[in-house]
C-alpha cells in the first residue's frame, strides 16, 4: 500500500526532529543530558528509567566508580598549585600532590574515600602529604583531627614528644579532663602535662579554614582524567544517569488501532533516543581518547606543556566534520590534576617556529616575570631572548609585548615603578 502524502510529511518531520535532537545531545553537558533523559521519560510512556549507582563508563583502564563534583578553586589553592609546579620535580609525586589539593575540603582536610578514587599507592600518598607540609599550612591534607595535630607537632623544633604521645593516645582523656590518668600512663609530671596541653591548644584544628572560601557554584565534570601505569587516561561520568529500558505495561494496547499508531511512534522515539545516546557516548569517547593522548604532557606539567591542537586536527583524526568536534567539545568539563577545566581549553594554536602553543608561551612569560629581579625588571626584548635561550621558542618582541598585555602585566618600566 502506498504511503499517503500526509504520512510522508509526518515521517519527514519526525526524522528532521530526531536528527536535530541527536545533534543537540552531542553538545549537552552531563547535567543537561541527565535532565533531558528524565524529560523524555515523562513525555514517552514506553520509556522506563531505573536509577543506577554507577558513576563512570570506564575507558581503557579500571578505576573506582567515584567522581566528586568539583568546584572552582580559590586564590590560595591556585597559589599552592603554582608553587607545587615549581618546587616538586618528580612527576608521580607532583601528580599525587595536585590530586590531594583538589580534593581538600574548606578546612584543609582530606577524605580517604575521595582520594581512594585516584588509586594512589599508600607510600606515594604519604610522601605527598609530607611534601604538602613544606608548602602549605602545617596540618594540611590530614585525614582527621588527630592526624592534623600530629602533622603540626612533627613540624616543630624541638620535637614535642609528650604532646605527640598525648595526641596519639589521650585526646579523649584531655577532653574529659582525665589528667591524672595521662600523667600515670606517660610517667610525666603535672607541669609537663600542662606545658604539653598548652602546645596542643596553640595548634590549628582547621588549618585552611581562613584560606579556602566556599565556592559559589559547583561544576560536575563530564569526565575525569587520571594517571595509570600507561600514562593518563579518562573515565566518562555517568553519575545520576538512569538506565533506560522499554516498558511492557502497554503491550496489550498495540491491538487497538488508534492506540497502536501512537505507541509505534513512541517506540520509534525510544529507539532513536537510545541510538542518539550511544552515538554521543561513542563520539565523546573517541574524542577524549584523541585529546588526552595528544595532551599527555599537559596532564603532567600544566599549561606550560600544552601542545598546539586544533578542532580540525581531531576531526581529521576521527574522520568526522569539524562541526561535530565543535559540538562535542561545547559545554564539556574535565576533572584533571590541575582542577576542573573546560575541554576546549586544551585546543590552542601554534604561534612559534618550534610549535609551542600560545597558552604555554604565556605561562613561560608569566614565570619569567614572576622570578625576575624586581629592581631590574625584564624588558620585552630580554624576555624574547630568554625564551629563545631557555625554551628554544622563537618570537618577535612585539608578540611578547602583546602576550604580556593580554596577561595584564605592566611594561618593565612600570613594574619597576611599582616596587
Residue 64: the pLDDT is: 33
Q: Which of 368, 369, 344, 349 is nearest to 359 (CA)?
A: 349
Q: Which of 239, 235, 232 is nearest to 300 (CA)?
A: 232
Residue found by looking up cell 515523562 in the block: 42
236-278: pLDDT as tens digits = 988 888 888 888 776 666 666 677 788 788 888 889 889 999 9
pTM (whole model) above 0.75: no
Cis peptide bond N-terminal to 158, omega within 30: yes
Those residues whose C-beta lies under 8 Å from the C-beta of residue 20, and which sit 6 or more positions away, are: none
Q: What DSSP string describes 107-167?
A: TSBB-HHHHHTTT--HHHHHHHHHHHHHHS-TTTTBSSHHHHHHHHHHTSSS--HHHHHHH
Report the SS3 class of residue 242: coil
Residue 214: the pLDDT is: 46
Q: Enumerate residue ranges in the chain where pLDDT < 50.
A: 1-3, 7-8, 11, 14-15, 55-74, 213-216, 417-419
Residue 72: the pLDDT is: 44
Q: Measured between alpha carbons, how far is 281 from 229 in angstroms, rounded to an integer? A: 25
Those residues whose C-beta lies under 8 Å from the C-beta of residue 402, and which sit 6 or more positions away, are: none
Q: Are 372 and 378 in contact (CB under 8 A)?
A: yes
Inter-CA distances, 238 with 33, 67, 283, 308, Å: 10, 9, 15, 30
Residue 222: the pLDDT is: 92
Q: Measured between alpha carbons, how far is 79 from 70 in angstroms, rounded to an integer? A: 18
103-159: pLDDT as tens digits = 888 888 998 888 887 788 899 999 999 999 988 888 999 999 999 999 999 988 888
47 Ramachandran zone, left/alpha/beta (phi>0; psi -120 to 50): beta
Amino acid at each position: 500500500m502506498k504511503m499517503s502524502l500526509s504520512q510522508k510529511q509526518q515521517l519527514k518531520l519526525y526524522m528532521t526532529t530526531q536528527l536535530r535532537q541527536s545533534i543537540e545531545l552531542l553538545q549537552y553537558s552531563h547535567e543537561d543530558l541527565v535532565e533531558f533523559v528524565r524529560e523524555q521519560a515523562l513525555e514517552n510512556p514506553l520509556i522506563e528509567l531505573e536509577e543506577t549507582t554507577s558513576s563512570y563508563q570506564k575507558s581503557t583502564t579500571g578505576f573506582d566508580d567515584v567522581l566528586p563534583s568539583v568546584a572552582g578553586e580559590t586564590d590560595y589553592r591556585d597559589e599552592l598549585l603554582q608553587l607545587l609546579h615549581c618546587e616538586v620535580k618528580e612527576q608521580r609525586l607532583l601528580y599525587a600532590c595536585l590530586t590531594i589539593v583538589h580534593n581538600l575540603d574548606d578546612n584543609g582536610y582530606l577524605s580517604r574515600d575521595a582520594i581512594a578514587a585516584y588509586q594512589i599507592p599508600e607510600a606515594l600518598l604519604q610522601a605527598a602529604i609530607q611534601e604538602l607540609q613544606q608548602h602549605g599550612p602545617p596540618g594540611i591534607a590530614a585525614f582527621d583531627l588527630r592526624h592534623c595535630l600530629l602533622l603540626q607537632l612533627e613540624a616543630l623544633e624541638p620535637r614535642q614528644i609528650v604532646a605527640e604521645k598525648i595526641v596519639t593516645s589521650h585526646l579523649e582523656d584531655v577532653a574529659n579532663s582525665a589528667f591524672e590518668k595521662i600523667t600515670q600512663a606517660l610517667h610525666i609530671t603535672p607541669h609537663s602535662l600542662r606545658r604539653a596541653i598548652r602546645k596542643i591548644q596553640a595548634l590549628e584544628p582547621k588549618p585552611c579554614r581562613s584560606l579556602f572560601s566556599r565556592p559559589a557554584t559547583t561544576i560536575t565534570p563530564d569526565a575525569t582524567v587520571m594517571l595509570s601505569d600507561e600514562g593518563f587516561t579518562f573515565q566518562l561520568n555517568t553519575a545520576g544517569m538512569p538506565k533506560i529500558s522499554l516498558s511492557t505495561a502497554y503491550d496489550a494496547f498495540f491491538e487497538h488501532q488508534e492506540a497502536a499508531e501512537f505507541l509505534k511512534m513512541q517506540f520509534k522515539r525510544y529507539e532513536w533516543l537510545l541510538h542518539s545516546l550511544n552515538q554521543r557516548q561513542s563520539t565523546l569517547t573517541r574524542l577524549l581518547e584523541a585529546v588526552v593522548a595528544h595532551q599527555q604532557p599537559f596532564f603532567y606539567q600544566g599549561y606550560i606543556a600544552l601542545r598546539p591542537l586544533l578542532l580540525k586536527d581531531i576531526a581529521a583524526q576521527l574522520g568526522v566534520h569539524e562541526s561535530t568536534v565543535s559540538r562535542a567539545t561545547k559545554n564539556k568539563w574535565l576533572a584533571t590534576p590541575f582542577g576542573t577545566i573546560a575541554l576546549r581549553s586544551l585546543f590552542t594554536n601554534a604561534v612559534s617556529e618550534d610549535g609551542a602553543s600560545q597558552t604555554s608561551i604565556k605561562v613561560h612569560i608569566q614565570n619569567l616575570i614572576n622570578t625576575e629581579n624586581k629592581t631590574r625588571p625584564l624588558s620585552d626584548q630580554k624576555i624574547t631572548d630568554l625564551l629563545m635561550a631557555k625554551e628554544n621558542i622563537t618570537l618577535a618582541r612585539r608578540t611578547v609585548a602583546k602576550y604580556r598585555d593580554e596577561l595584564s602585566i605592566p611594561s618593565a618600566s612600570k613594574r619597576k615603578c611599582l616596587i
